[in-house]
Amino acid sequence: MKFTKMHGCGNDYVYVNCFKEEVKNAGAVSRFVSDRHFGIGSDGLILIKSSEVADFKMAMYNSDGSEGEMCGNGIRCVAKYVYDYGLTDKEQISIETKAGIKHLELQVNGGKVETVTVDMGSPITTPAEVPVISDRDIVLAEKITKGGMDYEMTCVSMGNPHAIVFVEDTSKVEIEKAGPLFENDKERFPNRTNTEFIQVLDRGTINMRVWERGAGETLACGTGACASVYACILNEKTDDEVLVHLLGGDLKIRYDREKNHMFMTGPATVVFDGEIDITGIE
Ligand SMILES: N[C@H](CCC[C@H](N)C(=O)O)C(=O)O
């Protein structure tokens, strides 16, 4: 199977052009290629496919083989792939995902995509004044205790679930301990959850670390950055445009009140092209 290794702010995936390759058992292939010792090494697998309703279709799988509804860093890299590898010459494209059709603007320099702006759609919430616990889409600043630590949590969905917790200092979070406690709290999150730990630096800047559903700590999470900025806005901690500092780089997030849409701008990088034998796995 031919692939291209790419990353967005260090959130790295194995990308497969399914116009040319066939991947039958994507979950198992994701587990295999993601292994950083026996495979290629990545946070998961992303398939680039044709779509009946958009220019392209993206299917994303976490390193544990579970399928995510959407991937912010991944969709920027899909946009870079389809432009740089000649599948399109359009600088505005649409990509079908399990979280709906997303619209992207490519910033091209010297014939290659450098950064991408994604309309990430509306943060999925229930009426904020009625923090409905049942569907967990959004609960404002709920006090929650995990592993003996008290947290202030807001839940926002970007098509995939996010639990955002506000902390004094992200560098002090024992994420290997705290992350799984949120991820696997099936009573609150029947489909598990991504968890973002947020330190507000000022009204336009936050630090973020993330424990991703199905992947563990990653260096960045695009949907998580959007969900986190929206949680900051709801809790009146930031303005509508926020620079998010992640372990792997920075993302610019903007909330458009008129449209009630989150916009994300960030880089996309090709690392290398390769080929791997998936006989017996696919
Ligand atoms: N782990 C996520 C999918 C990847 C999201 C993240 N890598 C991003 O950039 O948005 C989930 O299961 O919902």
Q: Which residue segment(s) compose the domain that 196 sits in?
A: 127-258
Is the confidence at residue 2, as pLDDT, over 50? yes
Assess whether 157 and 239 both reside in one domain.
Answer: yes
Q: Determine the pLDDT at residue 34.
A: 98
Q: Determine the pLDDT at residue 143.
A: 79
Specify if 6 maps to a domain.
yes
Known binding residues for substrate: 11, 62, 72-73, 160, 194, 212-213, 222-223
Q: How many whole angstroms from 222 Cα to the centroid of ligand 1?
A: 7
- ipTM of the predicted structure? 0.96
**Hey, what's the torsion of the CAs at 256, 259, 265, 269, to 10 degrees?**
160
Assess whether 102 and 54 both reside in one domain.
Answer: yes
Is the confidence at residue 137, as pLDDT, over 60? no
Report residue 271: phi and psi, to 5°.
-95, -55
Assess whether 26 and 136 both reside in one domain.
Answer: no
For the CA of 220, the closest atom of ligand 1 is 9
Specify if 282 maps to a domain.
no
- 80-91: pLDDT as tens digits: 999 999 999 999
String of DSSP letters for 100-125: EEEEEEEEEETTEEEEEEEEEEPPB-
Is the confidence at residue 247, as pLDDT, over 50? yes
* Active-site amino acid positions: 71, 221
Is the confidence at residue 223, as pLDDT, over 90? yes
- 11-20: pLDDT as tens digits: 999 999 999 9
Q: Which residue has the higher pLDDT, 159 or 63?
A: 63
Report d(CA 217, CA 198) in Å as an integer. Answer: 14
Assess whether 115 and 135 both reside in one domain.
Answer: no
Assess whether 136 and 251 both reside in one domain.
Answer: yes
Assess whether 96 and 162 both reside in one domain.
Answer: no
Specify if 280 maps to a domain.
no
Q: How many whole angstroms from 219 Cα to the centroid of ligand 1?
A: 11
Say which CATH number the domain at 65 has: 3.10.310.10
Q: Determine the pLDDT at residue 79.
A: 98
Q: How many whole angstroms from 7 Cα to the centroid of ligand 1?
A: 13
